[in-house]
């Protein structure tokens, strides 16, 4: 009888101890986080760029032509969206940017029967709305880009004692290429080249015809973008063991 009681007491004690140990293990086990998803370029981003602009601009009209090779600073902001196709390295996106500029062309002087002809052109700001197509190599994204461009240009022409000017927003196109590198899941850096053509503007010279200025330039710039994480943070998984 005593022996049976001891056996029963031992069995109950073993059950209680096992349950207590299970409770302690469950309470003290840290949360296990799922591995973060593989890096993806998908998402919206905002950023800033800075660099230089340069190019060959021309002045032409009834008295002949002049040319200039201006150079200046360009810098501003940008915003865009990338979409990386599932199980693919192809990245398709769109980007818009706005840049302040110090680009100025001085064409020199040209002797004409109506007097000395001089001229200058200035680009105060420019922007674009472009498509982007890239090929992802993990956190490295080489890409090509192109689309619509616009800019505020001002032209000043002097012919003898008379001065003439024209200015305003002109539109055209832009195209280029670059490479972007993901420093973290959210911060990316890029280097980019763009060629922009804003077309030709005419400045009337009274009764002496018109001088035409062609605004086209190259831009080389670097930038930093903040990408809003499309995949979100890793989700915790509480251990049941």
**Hey, where are the domains in the chain?**
2-32, 43-227
Q: What is the pLDDT of residue 68?
A: 87
pTM of the model: 0.78
Which whole number is the average pLDDT over 38-53?
A: 94
> What are the phi and psi torsion angles at 185 (to 5°)?
-65, -25
> For residue 123, which of 76, 79, 163, 175 has the smallest C-alpha distance?
76
Which whole number is the average pLDDT over 42-69?
A: 90
List, for residues 59-111, the tens digit of each pLDDT value.
Answer: 888 887 888 888 999 999 999 999 999 999 999 999 999 999 999 989 888 88
The CA dihedral of 154, 155, 156, 157, to the nearest 10 degrees, is -170
Q: What is the pLDDT of residue 240?
A: 45
Which whole number is the average pLDDT over 159-185?
A: 93
Question: Which of these CATH numbers, 3.90.1150.10, 2.60.120.200, 3.90.330.10, 2.40.160.20, describes 43-227?
Answer: 2.40.160.20
Say how far apart CA 62 and CA 202 lie, in whole Å: 12
List, for residues 204-218, the tens digit of each pLDDT value.
Answer: 887 778 888 888 999
Sequence-ordered list of residues with C-beta below 8 angstroms from that of 71, at least 6 positions apart, any chain: 52, 53, 54, 103
């Amino acid at each position: 009888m005593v022996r049976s009681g001891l056996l029963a007491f031992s069995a109950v004690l073993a059950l209680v101890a096992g349950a207590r140990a299970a409770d302690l293990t469950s309470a003290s086990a840290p949360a296990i986080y799922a591995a973060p998803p593989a890096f993806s370029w998908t998402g919206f981003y905002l950023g800033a760029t800075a660099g230089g602009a340069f190019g060959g601009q021309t002045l032409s009209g009834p008295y002949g032509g002049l040319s200039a090779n201006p150079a200046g600073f360009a810098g501003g902001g940008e915003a865009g969206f990338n979409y990386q196709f599932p199980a693919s390295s192809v990245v398709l996106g769109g980007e818009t940017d706005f840049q302040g500029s110090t680009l100025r062309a001085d064409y020199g002087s040209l002797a004409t029967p109506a007097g000395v002809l001089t001229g200058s052109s200035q680009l105060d700001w420019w922007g674009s709305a472009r498509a982007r197509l890239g090929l992802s190599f993990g956190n490295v994204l080489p890409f090509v880009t192109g689309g619509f461009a616009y800019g505020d240009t001002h032209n000043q022409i002097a012919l003898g004692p008379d001065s003439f000017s024209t200015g305003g927003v002109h539109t055209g196109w832009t195209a280029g290429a670059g490479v972007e590198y993901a420093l973290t899941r959210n911060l990316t850096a890029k280097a980019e080249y763009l060629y922009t053509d804003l077309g030709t503007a005419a400045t009337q010279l009274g009764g002496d015809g018109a001088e035409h200025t062609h605004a086209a330039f190259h831009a080389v710039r670097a930038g930093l973008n903040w990408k809003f994480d499309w995949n979100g943070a890793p989700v915790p998984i509480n251990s049941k063991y």
